[in-house]
Structure formats: structure tokens, C-alpha cells
Structure 1
């Protein structure tokens, strides 16, 4: 993505000449001092190879030629041993940090809505030793409340320090931990709790009142609810037989009853550590059974791909849902390597976040993280917000920004760094994430090339795009930090191997030229044990090969490049055959059109008995209002979104973006519905990782589907 300059040609020529002279003068010293040749050779080297020469052979990392990695530290074959090892090695280091709440107030908005705003103070930290003790006491307290080894226990809670303390307590005492998204609806929560037959659940005061309390009568086995919030509160109006406790009380009970020797019935590698319920993007959530050995293999593979992990000052910011495998794996990687984790939320992440009172600091400004994970939806928002501000600059500022952007893009493609541009041009943008980020990890969905390149350039750090699933402990591939190519997810991690399986219906074959294509299968010690109480899906999605290795069939379509890196090109469930015979990849259409500045989110939809594609769109409010003003269309935000003339204008702009993104004519949505309300996990239309819930979106927009297809 090259940005366009808009100054007069003479001044542009002068600026380009200055840049050329600077590049020429500094070329030789910078070439040798910056290590550009080594950077380029690392980026271009072969990263994975087929195990043998037969078509469809698995690809394996060049760093795991002889065997797949499965253990992070010698002798640490269960998660409790890994944490104990980290506690001994990093005893006095900060481990988990929580920001203090100074004040909270309601703020009336111009539209009449009331937003809660907060002023937050400094981070308070628990050391590794203090965290270990807190987990040990909590585990003993749960045992004193009747929780038995190998009996399931649930956590239904926001991302916070108490979540990880609970997880470590369960790992120590061999309590399989059932994880549920905090945004799941009542029926899905009840389904998970009843299927796993839990008697104890850990939750927060807010979630108990807003979601859990309403379904307690539907969960007859539940006996104990443990609230993680500090302040003790009197709990009333609960069904008979349910006791409510505070986490601090349970920890105090555990401190009294804890035996100084290790807990009985300690886990073995094959024991279940987590039953992780998926976000339910295609229906009722499924519980994925993940063993201790599965998770250790997964975090071993991830850790190998992050350079210099465990430096004394490495700080990770935790704000994505811990019930999602990306966040849980990332935090376990950090804890096992002595990094500190400061907790945040999407509403308090930056100075401009929705819950931060104007004039006070967001979490990234205070924490200044060096490591961060993000889903593409969040990165896309940052990209669009910054580029909107660039458009608002005066002509000189905008041109200088564009020149610096294009200059840096050219330099990093040659293996060079650009310290002057980073210091003088991109410093302000970089400060949005605290100014010290050295690695950004993207996962959960494909990241567009434009957004990936923007994050590389403006945040002055590599973006490791990863690919993995709950069923593979989040591990599959991560692009190397020296690889600045876009649109790819990297080579297989050292804990697994990847092979492509022919999919005839979609026309994908492992004999395709120039690159083999097919359904992605992931095999290795990180592949989960299967779905809880779901043998039908286990037989469909998992298998064990002749060598005893376990494999998972992902349903995603991939393409392997000559250097062993993987590109995601399609998804079986996203492919729709139109009435006239053409196949449309809905995910591909959405990925291209989300780059349009007018679109914040989009769901493409097609019926196989129809001849064209339609779309549901969450428009960018600022861009759409500007377009409405240009076309002299007035009204409230809802009225503008419902205006048929605005729909036509959006289709026109969208079609231009689609042609630029090389979509075929039959792939471009012909009709659209503009949504005045954004899609958030709370609406039930996207998952916690902001993946589209196609079934829920279809139900939500059923009347519009009928209208756009001529039914109404």
C-alpha cells in the first residue's frame, strides 16, 4: 500500500532529491552497521520443508527436523511444574499487575445515553512468589469447599489477574478448568455448565448479577459461587443449596488448611487442564478438551518464534478474553518466561478509549507494554482512526507523513531500519500503544496486508501474524519477526507440522501450481484431545495417523509457498455456489472490502438459489456523515443509515474499492443494509475475538435478506 503525496510537483521533487541524497550518503555505513544483509537473508531463508517428496507431505519447521518440540523446560511436563519453575527462577520479579481505580462517574452523552467514565491510577503488582502463594492458597481453599481432583470447575470472568491465579490453582490441584466467554448468552452458559457437571464456579460481581444469576435454576448441580472482587458483599435471593463466597475468604481458608507438602493427586501430562468452550460462531459452543501436555507443547512452539523473550523489562498487556485460546496461550508463554502482565480492557486500553475520562491516561500510556496481542478488528480500527487523522492534516503535514511512510516501506523491504523517521514522524502514532512495543502478535482472523504494513511502519515493530485454533492450543504458525511480507501467517511452529488435503469441491489440490493448495491439517503434541461428550464431531474433525500422531482438520484452505510459509486463501464454510455456478468466498469479499474507509465491519451473504451477493455493513460514522453532507442527505444517524440513497452511495464507493482489491464482478455485493449499531460481542453478532457469527447475523437481518432478494 503506497500512499499518495499531494504537494506541487516542484516541492515534491526537491523533497525526493533530499531523500535520495541522504540515502546515497548513508548507504554504505548503514548497510554494514544495521545488519541489513543478515536481515534480508533471514527474511528470505527457507523456514519449513516437506518431510518427504510425495505430494501432500507434511511441512515441518527447519528448527524441528528430527522431532517436534513438546516440553518447554526439562522435567516440567505439567503446567503446575512450569509455574513452579518460573516461581523459583523469577521469584522477586513482578508477575501480575492491576490498575487502581481512583474514581468512577456517569457522563451524559449528547444523544441522551449515559457512559460510565473512570480515572485510574498506577499499577499494583504481585511478584512471582506472591502469585504462586495466592494460587496455592486458593486451590487449597477450593479443595476445602469440596472441589475434587479430576472434577470439573468453571470460570466465567473478565480478563484480570484473578483469572490466571484461578487457572494456576486448578493446574496445581488437578481441577480441569471449564472456561466460558463472559459475553455468552444464558442458554450457552447453562449448556456449558450442565454438560461439564460443575459444582463450583468462579465469577465476578458484575457477571453474577448481569448474566449468571438469571440461569441458576437451570444449573441444578451448582453448589458454590466464588466472587473474585475484593470488597465483601451480602448476597441474597439465591436458590436454596447455593453458597456464595469471596475469593479472599476462600484463600484465607486455604492458607489455614494447606499442607506444606504438594497437593495429593497431582496431574500427569495426559490429564485434562482446560475444557475451553469455543465462541460458538457456527452454533452451540463446543468444549475442547486440552491436556497439560497439549498446552505445554503449544506454548513451547509460540515461545520459540518470539525473539529475546523473557528480558527483564518485558511487559505484556492483557485485555483480550482469557477464555480465548490466543490470550490464554500468550499469558502462559509470558508467565513461563518471567515477563510481567499488566491487565486492561478494550474500554480502558488507550487515552481515547470509551471508559477513560477525558484528560486522564489509558492503560497503554501507563504500562508502556513491550509485548501485545491483538485481533485484526482492533488493528483495523487503529489503522482507520490514524489515517482519518492524517487526512485532516494540512497539506504540508500530510505530504511529509506520506513521504516518510513510503520511504520507510521501501527501506524495510530492503532490510533497513529508519531511526530518524521513527523518532520524528511516527513517535506520536507509536505512543498510542505506550511507545515501547517491540512485538505485536495478531491472531483470531486474517489480517489485511494494508493494516499489517501500517502497523509495521507506524508502530515501528514487527507484526507476527499467527494461525491456530482452540483445537490446536492456538498454535499452528507464526510469521518470523524478520519476515516483513504481508498476507501470510508464517511457517509451522516447532511443536507441530502442517499438511494440505485435496478439496475437490472447491478445486483445491496439493498438486496445484505454482503452490500446493488444500484444506489445512495440523498434527502434533499440541492437538487437543477432542470435543467434550461429542464423539460424532471427534470422528469428523480429529484422527490419528499410522505413526500415532494426532491431527485436526481445520476446514480452512491454505497455500504453501516455496519458503514453507502458509497463506490462508479460503474457508470451506465460507464458500457459496451462486445460482449461475460461480463460487464466492465470503471471507475473501469481506477481507477486501474492510479496507474501504467507509466500512467498519461487513458480513457478505449469498443464497445458492440467487445470482448475486448482498451485504450487511457497519459504516464508519464519520465517513458516512461526511458523504451524507456531500449528497445533502439529512437526518439522525439511524435515518441516514436507513436511507435508500445512502445505500446506493455506499454500494458505489464499495464497488470502487472492490475493483481496486481485484474482486470479480460477481463477488461484489449488489445490495446492502447499513447498520446504525456496531456489532460487538454484547450484541451476540460477533464472537469475543470479533469473528462474525454468520448464523446469528442471518437471523438478525432475515427481513433485510428477503427484501434484498426480492421476497419483500
Structure 2
């Protein structure tokens, strides 16, 4: 009991001293813009600037010139960091499954000056290897320093780079390389085997350059009629035969980015240098005090515009970028040898990006550890959490000042050490972030979660929440690079004249809107429009509503609307975002058959949460798959979903009547989710067609 008095005394004192102090809500500044062209609607832009920003600084109007400027300005600073692999081993679990574990050392760094020399040498090496002007290069690799160096090398030769997710399936890979007629593929040693195996289907590929790993490629591979070279060999060739750079213009196509595609084959989005640089300018204006002391942990796919724009913004500011992976991110990540440091602990980053699925896992990991310890540890955590929650949400009876400092020392400091202890801000994008997870990260990690909204087609530019805005469920006002317009969607009943909150389809216009889809004019014409003033607009298909302060909230998706048997409309994505707040949900796909009056769901279950419930409920099971099939387990998860649905005012027909519990995670490798961990609905429906059918029987 003594420990509680130590805690409660400052709680009472602080509450008395602060009285009715409330946390100020930061007012976003956005103004209605009337003088824009295109379809009639309600348009807003960021009011901090007199006009849309297009470049982060003078003279930096292409990615090549921006890179060259930064490398000259910050020549001696740390730039690209990688960890030394000390040991790789295989562990066998009690049930016979094998897991690879690694022991990693400290970060080793390349300076800005060294990186510029490597990129320049590699650019010259491409010429020496025979890559011609006008031919396209593809980068097919996991995120690592050589990815960024290869990209910048290509830009110094004004080459268009095709970016491809490392998790892309064989058919989609062949489609992407063949459609763009790529002649040189740059890959890591892991992807090299895929390229070699598919050699006969890659008729335009003449050269393959692979990034070396000390223990991955044991013998020199060969491909009949094609040149295979090591990354370091190409750098050496370039150093021996330097070639003059051929710098791009802002209007030149920098990247053809193949989305992983939630439906069908991936589409190649054409991005000019001007498009990407504009987004960098917008993000730079949104994140406060970006500078050379910042350290960024890079682990998301660079083939995704969120990560590419993020890393480019960081090197524009002269910051350090340390590379990791989702499997080695923390001390408890699946690939890290027990007792050794994960990437975040070793690097101690100040800034990170994340997709919601990863933040959900961080949240679940913390909760699991707290619940496992139980006792006074759990009670202190719960008290600290709800005191801070009350303060953040504006209650006078919340933890402020001295009391907040006390909770940081007693409870939250150790939690924050899981990500290195120095994170001052995080960016979440790629999918909706649940309010529960956002608030959890705010409290436990003591940093803002900047929610962004954008698409590959807008170079990730759209909206970005104010750094000090602690509200949840919104994605902020328009970034300084673009206009955001709401237009009527009559079929869904959304109008920009709706009061008090205007609603409609989100349309984005500005210099960040890309040039369209490669070799797909019909689709380009469907969703891209050029107005009478020459501005490009992209029709997102997402439904949003403006709050009074100019922030946007995503409330629906045109493609996700399904009409039930009795005429009710269900927005699948909206309901999934709500139900994902259940502690049992790792992932969920709602399914609505128009010939029935109710919906069903496939639920990928959190193993730790369900097994914890089973232990408390004395439910016997042989393995996790067996537990997922138990009637008691299904009832428990369904009860949780129903409760959360009702709390969030879902209609009865929006809450699934029946569910199937899935014991295996959905991964990009399985083809069930994209690299950004978004659902591939059609793939899931086909894979689990019989399960969905049985739920309706």
C-alpha cells in the first residue's frame, strides 16, 4: 500500500494546484478557396502559405538537384547507417517449427559526401555496363542504403526508375518488368533467385545488378544471354570510367511506381521529379524543426511512396537515416536473438514512420507485457494511463505538470525505451489508424502521431495532422502542396453543402498530382482530370468530411459500399476500422452478400489475446488452430466485436452476425494483403470462398 501513497499524494496535489486547467486544442488553419477550376465543390488549402509550395528550397526542383545540394551542404554528417550482422542461427520451438534468429552489432555510417561519390560512381558504372539513355531501370529489393543510392545514381543519368515491392508475386513481377520494358534490374541477393528463375519470361532484361550480402550468395549465378554483376563491381567500373552526369528536368518522369494493388494486376503510377519534390516541400512544411540532429529509422518498403517521400524529406534536411527491418525492429521482434538489441534500441531514432498494422502490434505487445506482469505493475500502469488520458482529452482531473513527470519516470520511461527512448514524433499512413491505437501511442510513448492521408497517385501528398493536435480519427488539414476539394457523390448521399460538416468525394489538386498510369490511358482518364486552368486533379474514391477547423475525416469509400438484401448500404472499410479496436483482432475482413440481410467476417486473431482469454476461461486446446475452431472462442470474439460495434454506434446490420477465426497471419507474401498491409479483398474472397459460403449457410 505504501507505493500507492507515494503516487497518490502528487496526484492530489497536482490536481489541486492546476484546478480547472484544460489542455488547449490546437486550431488548424485552413481557408476556403473559391478561385479554383474543375468540378464544382468545396475547396480548402493550407492557410500558412500564400500559395501552394512546390520546392523545399531554391534550385532544388528535381530529386537529383535536391540530393546534390544536401550532400554538398552536409558533406561530413552521418547519412546512411546499417547494422553489422554478427551471427545468424536457427532455433527450433517445442512444436518443431524452425525460426531464424540474428545477432546484430552497432550501426556503421556513410557520410553525405561518401554517399554522393558512391551514387556518382554507380551512375557512371551503369554507362560502362552498357545501359543506354532512354532505357528503364527497375529496383526490386528490400529497403536498404543501396536502394536509395541506386535511385539517385539513375537520376544522375536522367533514367526512369521502375519500383517494385519485394513481396510482389511472380505474375505481377513479370507483368511490371515486361510492361515497362526494363533492360536493367537492380535487386538484393534474396530477390536475385526470383529473377534467375523467371529469366525466360523477362525478354527485355539484359542486365541484373545485385546487392551483396556476406552470407547469402554462395556462388556466382548465371543467366543465359544476360549480364549479372555485383553492386560493388558496378561502382568500381564507374570509378575507373567516370561519365558526365545528364541531369533531369522537373517535368521528366522520375519513377514508375507499381502499386501492390488491392485488386488485379498492379498499375504503374508515373511520377515526375516535380511531383515528388512538391510532396517533399509539403512534408517539410508540416513537420516542425526538421534538422541535422534528427535520426530516422527506415524499415518500410522504399517501393512505397510513403517511405520514399519520408526518406527524401529527411535527407533534404541533412538528417541521419538508419536502416532496419520489421522483423528486427525491437528487442522482442521475431528475428532478434533473445537478449540482444533490436534496431530501435540500438539506433535511438527521433522520428519514425509506420503503417497502422505495425503500431497495433506495438500496442498489443505492451499490453501483453503489462498483463503478464500483473499485480502492482498492472495497477500502476492502468492508473497512469487513465490519468494521462484524462489530461489529453481535456479533463481537469488529469495528469499534468509534476504528476505527469512522475508517471513518465515510474511507468512510461521503460515502455518508451522499446523504441529507443528518443522518438519525438511518428507518421502514420497507408491505412486508417484506430483512435485507440493513436491514443495509446500518444500516452505511452509521449509523442505525437502525425496522421497523413495521401495516395500513390498524389505522391503521398494530401493532408497531414498538426503536430500538436491530439484529437483522434482525423487526418489533419491539407498539406501546403495541394488543394483538397469535396465534390458531391449523389449515389452515396454525400454533398459538400451538408451542414454542419460538408461531405463528399475527396479530390486532390496540385503539383504533387502524378502524370497518370503507365500504358493505361482509359484508367487515367477515369480518375485524373485537368481543369480549364491547367491544374491536375485526382479523384480518390474516398469520402471525407470537413471539420470546422479545416481538418478532414475519412468516413467512407466508394468502392467498399455493398447493398444488402433489404436495401441497407454497408461501408466495409468503415466498419473494419471500427472493429479493429477489439483486442482480439489482428486483421479483419467484413463480407456482405447482397442476397442476404446480414454480414459476416473473417477475423485474423491475436494469438496472445485469445490464448490469454482461454487460460482464464479454462478452455482446453491442442494448438492455436484448434483454439480458433472452438465454439467458446468464436463466441468470445464475436461478443467483443458486437460490444465495440454498439459503442461506436454501428447499425445492427453493420455488425457481423457470424465470424470465422483465422489462426494464420495475412502477409504480403501470402498475397492476401499489400506491402502496406491493406486487404486484397478479391484474393481473400477467392482463398476463403468455402469459408465465406459456409458462414451464410
TM-score by length of 1: 0.93
* Rounded Cα–Cα distance in structure 2 between residues aligned with 1:286 and 1:516: 32
Is 1:332 aligned to residue 312 of structure 2?
A: yes
Give 1:499's match in structure 2, choosing from 482, 485, 492: 485
**1:109-128, aligned counterparts within 5 Å?**
109-128=93-112
Give 2:253's match in structure 1, choosing from 272, 276, 280: 272
* Rounded Cα–Cα distance in structure 1 between residues aligned with 2:452 and 2:170: 32
The alignment partner of 1:150 has SS state of: coil
* Rounded Cα–Cα distance in structure 2 between residues aligned with 1:178 and 1:215: 18
Residues 328-385 of structure 1, C-alpha deviations (whole Å, 9 max, x = no match): 0000000111001000000100000111101111111100000000000011111122
* Rounded Cα–Cα distance in structure 1 between residues aligned with 2:35 and 2:376: 56
Q: Say whether the 8 Å CA contact 2:26–2:468 is kept in structure 1.
A: no
* Rounded Cα–Cα distance in structure 1 between residues aligned with 2:105 and 2:60: 38
* Rounded Cα–Cα distance in structure 2 between residues aligned with 1:273 and 1:420: 50
CA positional deviation for 1:390: 2.6
Residues 453-510 of structure 1, C-alpha deviations (whole Å, 9 max, x = no match): 1111110111100001101111111101111111100000110010011111111111
Q: 1:116 to 1:46 in 2, by over 3 A?
A: closer
The alignment partner of 1:58 has SS state of: strand
* Rounded Cα–Cα distance in structure 2 between residues aligned with 1:90 and 1:59: 36
How many residue pairs get aligned? The number is 685
CA positional deviation for 1:47: 1.6
Is 1:214 aligned to residue 208 of structure 2?
A: no
The alignment partner of 1:590 has SS state of: helix
CA positional deviation for 1:650: 2.4
CA positional deviation for 1:184: 0.5
Q: Say whether the 8 Å CA contact 1:46–1:562 is kept in structure 2.
A: no
Is 1:488 aligned to residue 469 of structure 2?
A: no
* Rounded Cα–Cα distance in structure 1 between residues aligned with 2:11 and 2:631: 48
Q: 1:512 to 1:429 in 2, by over 3 A?
A: same
Q: 1:583 to 1:12 in 2, by over 3 A?
A: farther
Q: Say whether the 8 Å CA contact 2:331–2:345 is kept in structure 1.
A: yes
CA positional deviation for 1:519: 0.6
Q: Say whether the 8 Å CA contact 1:230–1:246 is kept in structure 2.
A: no
Residues 78-123 of structure 1, C-alpha deviations (whole Å, 9 max, x = no match): 1111011101110100000010000111111122111111100011
| Bigger Cα displacement from structure 2, 517-526 vs 637-646 | 637-646
Residues 245-283 of structure 1, C-alpha deviations (whole Å, 9 max, x = no match): 000000000111114xx413x210000001000011122
Residues 585-629 of structure 1, C-alpha deviations (whole Å, 9 max, x = no match): 111221121111112111111112221111111111122224444
The alignment partner of 2:489 has SS state of: coil
Query: In the alignment, what sits opposite 2:239?
Result: 255
The alignment partner of 2:366 has SS state of: helix
Give 2:11's match in structure 1, choosing from 19, 22, 28: 19
**1:217-228, aligned counterparts within 5 Å?**
217-228=200-211
* Rounded Cα–Cα distance in structure 2 between residues aligned with 1:676 and 1:319: 26
Query: In the alignment, what sits opposite 1:647?
Result: 634
* Rounded Cα–Cα distance in structure 2 between residues aligned with 1:111 and 1:91: 52
* Rounded Cα–Cα distance in structure 2 between residues aligned with 1:515 and 1:543: 26
Give 1:475's match in structure 2, choosing from 437, 461, 468: 461
Query: In the alignment, what sits opposite 2:330?
Result: 350
Give 1:131's match in structure 2, choosing from 112, 115, 120: 115
The alignment partner of 2:641 has SS state of: helix
* Rounded Cα–Cα distance in structure 2 between residues aligned with 1:646 and 1:250: 57
Query: In the alignment, what sits opposite 1:52?
Result: 34
Measured on the aligned residues, the alpha-carbon RMSD in Å equals: 2.1
Is 1:540 aligned to residue 526 of structure 2?
A: yes
* Rounded Cα–Cα distance in structure 1 between residues aligned with 2:149 and 2:506: 35
Residues 12-59 of structure 1, C-alpha deviations (whole Å, 9 max, x = no match): 99966751322333679xx8xxxx9xx83xx43242111139972310
* Rounded Cα–Cα distance in structure 2 between residues aligned with 1:654 and 1:439: 31
Q: 1:648 to 1:413 in 2, by over 3 A?
A: closer
Stretches of structure 1 lacking an aligned partner (at least 5 in a row): 1-6
Give 2:60's match in structure 1, choosing from 64, 76, 81: 76
Stretches of structure 2 lacking an aligned partner (at least 5 in a row): none
* Rounded Cα–Cα distance in structure 2 between residues aligned with 1:638 and 1:24: 53
Is 1:366 aligned to residue 318 of structure 2?
A: no
CA positional deviation for 1:393: 3.8
* Rounded Cα–Cα distance in structure 1 between residues aligned with 2:252 and 2:203: 26
Query: In the alignment, what sits opposite 1:670?
Result: 657
* Rounded Cα–Cα distance in structure 2 between residues aligned with 1:666 and 1:413: 31
Query: In the alignment, what sits opposite 1:62?
Result: 47
* Rounded Cα–Cα distance in structure 2 between residues aligned with 1:219 and 1:572: 37
The alignment partner of 1:44 has SS state of: coil
Residues 292-313 of structure 1, C-alpha deviations (whole Å, 9 max, x = no match): 0000000100111111101x32
Is 1:426 aligned to residue 412 of structure 2?
A: yes
Q: 1:706 to 1:414 in 2, by over 3 A?
A: closer
The alignment partner of 1:384 has SS state of: helix
